[in-house]
Structure 1
Amino acid sequence: MDPRSEVLLRQAELFQGPLLLAGLAADDLLGELPQAHGWSWHAGDHAQLNARFSGRCHYGTEAGPAEFASAVLFLPKSRELTDYLLACLAAQLPGGLLYLVGEKRAGIERAAKQLSSYGRARKLDSARHCQLWQVRVEHCPAKPDLNSLAQRYELPLADGPLTVMSLPGVFSHGRLDVGSALLLQHLDNLPSGHLLDFGCGAGVLGAVLKRRYPHCQVSMLDVDAFAIASSRLTLAANGLEAQVLAGDGINAAPSGLSLILSNPPFHQGVHTHYQACEQLLRQARLHLASKGELRLVANSFLRYPPLIEEHLGPCQTLAQDKGFSIYRAVKN
């Protein structure tokens, strides 16, 4: 059981009515709270919850139409995303109770100050290195428009500027990260066919692929609903069309790909996870066509070349700069 869920169950008498659990972990909490409904923006967590508690969890960027008497937000990493999620929940809870639960190292005490926009917040519990806060929604906000919160910026590229639309909570929100900037310099001589941007984030790499290789089929895949929404906004802002897919890891990718391009994710919440990238390296060949190519950027200290060569083929280092390396391998 996730420690945040354990803290909620210490106060289980507060959560017996219709309740929305926003950003909940993929654990047994829904089983312990039979009137609760889950809202997840992580495709993997949602799939696990839906398999065990069918119809009791939805995936997306909005709280959904379900009616609830109170709501709990599991604190996300991003402060901007926390602002949006609290406003979404508070807008549907005039006079109702809104709870915030999170780990101390994730900044729960700082985040609890954001509750003051809606009423007087109070701390209910502190255990398992977590805290639980409550506020009665006395100042009910209007329902926020997510698209209006997108940060728009322009990338000056050789073939013209690219407009990027970044939503709260998306990796490298509002700016181009160093790894993607380096990878953008090494997108020449790509194979034709079906191209995949794995871990697409705000859609920078996928949009560039579609613009430079307009006759190729381009798919974009991410686990996060806010990244999916950002990628669709980025494509629309540049007049481009591509397939945008929600899924957890490379297992959700199409088969017969000519190219997998990635700046792979390695953070989940406040924790560091390399599982998604390592799974990609081990299973890329299952999704690549004959002579299909993997091209990715990663921190240079990560020992990915031996893993690539074990599961795919000889690994070529195309560039190294600012602590990042560009790796290329062709399915043998």
Structure 2
Amino acid sequence: MDPRSEVVLRQQDYLNGHILLINAPNDQLAKELPSQTQASVWTWNFADHQGFLNAGISSHFSVEFPQTAFEQVIIFVPKSKELLNYILHVVVSHLQQGQHVFLVGEKKGGVERAAKQLQQYGQTQKLDSARHCQLWHMKIEKTEQLKPLDHWLKAYTVQVNQDRLEVCALPGVFSQDHLDIGTAVLVPYLDQVKSGKIADFGCGAGIISAYLAKLNPQHQIFALDIDAFALRSTEMTFQRNGLNLDQLHLQPVTGFGDAPKDLAAIVSNPPFHQGIHTDYDASETLCKLAKSHLKRSGELWIVANRFLNYQPLIEQSFGQCVIKTDQQGFKVLYANAKYKV
């Protein structure tokens, strides 16, 4: 069991009624809580959501608070400070004064910083410190009126050649307030991408998806991400730029294996973080499986940090890998499934 969940169980006497576990790890905490409780999960991680459902745990995959009444909530601290601000706001918008909010997180994950964010809504108390984690409690003294999702959006403009794109990103989404270097290195090559059914794996705020749609109305874009906030951000980016939503197919995935088949191209700035931890599994799986998801002569375009050794993985699968550019610490890698059986 995750150490954060273990700390919650150490203080289970504080818990009762219908409890919402927010951003909880994919473990058995919901089933281990005392009999006087009934636990549900709100997560924006699709892999975790599937894990909860498979374990028979009630799970809500969304960017928005479940439409159910809860007596208590337990928030597992997310990586993003802005995302925690959003979560706290929606929690105190749905709960009432006198109800209880618990906050748990790893010390190295910023739980003490997060506990300070709690203070704007009530007096806080540290209940426990163990397993390199802390558990905090707050009794709600101040509620708020729910603000629309647009209030939490950050937008910025990207200029590529003669095209301008306004990017919309919700809290916690990669590169929320600026164009990241990797994507900036990749974007000038997008006009070379083969026309047709294209997957943008790890779509984030939708920069790649939206620019591909802007370049070619014949592109059918499958925006894939594990994160509900990323998928909603991509949709908002399309809407903000007046792009055709019929071109966009939003698809939550647990990993690249969930991607569609018979693709003309896969384009990606692949993720290599899971929460506060580095995790190369998703991007390495992409390199290994990409060819099996492409049509004959389908294309793989990815950008990656220079130090990430994806080229051999692509060569093992495709038989070749071309470095289109190597600049600012990033490589754009290209492969063609021309030898596909």
TM-score, normalization: structure 2?
Answer: 0.95
Q: Is the 8 A contact 2:160 2:188 kept in 1?
A: no
Change (3 A) 1:160 1:189: closer
* Residue of structure 1 in register with 2:75 after alignment: 73
Distance (Å, rounded) in 1 between the aligned partners of 2:231 and 2:107: 29
- The counterpart of 2:54, out of the listed 51, 54, 61, is 51
Q: CA deviation at 1:260?
A: 0.3
Distance (Å, rounded) in 2 between the aligned partners of 1:31 and 1:16: 14
One-letter amino acid of the counterpart of residue 315, structure 1:
C
The number of residues matched between the two structures is: 331
Indicate whether 1:172 and 2:178 are aligned: no
Indicate whether 1:326 and 2:329 are aligned: no
* Residue of structure 1 in register with 2:15 after alignment: 15
Q: Is the 8 A contact 2:16 2:72 kept in 1?
A: no
CA RMSD across the alignment: 1.1
Indicate whether 1:112 and 2:115 are aligned: yes
Indicate whether 1:123 and 2:123 are aligned: no
- The counterpart of 2:153, out of the listed 132, 150, 155, is 150
- The counterpart of 1:260, out of the listed 266, 282, 289, is 266
Q: CA deviation at 1:193?
A: 1.5
TM-score, normalization: structure 1?
Answer: 0.97
One-letter amino acid of the counterpart of residue 5, structure 1:
S
Q: Is the 8 A contact 1:313 1:330 kept in 2?
A: no
Distance (Å, rounded) in 2 between the aligned partners of 1:218 and 1:62: 25
3-state SS in 2 of match to 1:318? strand
Distance (Å, rounded) in 2 between the aligned partners of 1:76 and 1:313: 40
- The counterpart of 1:302, out of the listed 295, 305, 308, is 308
Q: Is the 8 A contact 1:30 1:53 kept in 2?
A: no
3-state SS in 1 of match to 2:189? coil
Distance (Å, rounded) in 1 between the aligned partners of 2:90 and 2:199: 32
Q: Is the 8 A contact 1:196 1:261 kept in 2?
A: yes
Q: Percent identity?
A: 44
Distance (Å, rounded) in 1 between the aligned partners of 2:271 and 2:40: 28
Q: CA deviation at 1:124?
A: 0.3
More displaced stretch, 43-52 vs 148-157: 148-157
Distance (Å, rounded) in 2 between the aligned partners of 1:189 and 1:205: 13
One-letter amino acid of the counterpart of residue 9, structure 1:
L
Where in structure 2 are there 5+ consecutive unaligned residues? none
Alignment of 1:205-224 (within 5 A): 205-224=208-227
Where in structure 1 are there 5+ consecutive unaligned residues? none
One-letter amino acid of the counterpart of residue 263, structure 2:
L
For each residue in 1:113-159, what CA deviation from the matched residue of structure 2 results, as whole angstroms up to 9, or x when unmatched? 00111110010000010000010001111223222211111111223
One-letter amino acid of the counterpart of residue 75, structure 1:
V
Q: Is the 8 A contact 2:191 2:212 kept in 1?
A: no
* Residue of structure 1 in register with 2:93 after alignment: 91
For each residue in 1:30-51, what CA deviation from the matched residue of structure 2 results, as whole angstroms up to 9, or x when unmatched? 1112610000100000001111
* Residue of structure 2 in register with 1:193 after alignment: 196
3-state SS in 2 of match to 1:292? strand
Q: CA deviation at 1:28?
A: 0.6
Indicate whether 1:26 and 2:21 are aligned: no
One-letter amino acid of the counterpart of residue 74, structure 1:
F
3-state SS in 1 of match to 2:163? coil
Distance (Å, rounded) in 1 between the aligned partners of 2:223 and 2:166: 17
Distance (Å, rounded) in 2 between the aligned partners of 1:172 and 1:98: 29
Indicate whether 1:247 and 2:253 are aligned: yes
Following TM superposition, where does structure 1 have runs of at least 4 consecutive aligned residues deviating by more than 3 angstroms? none
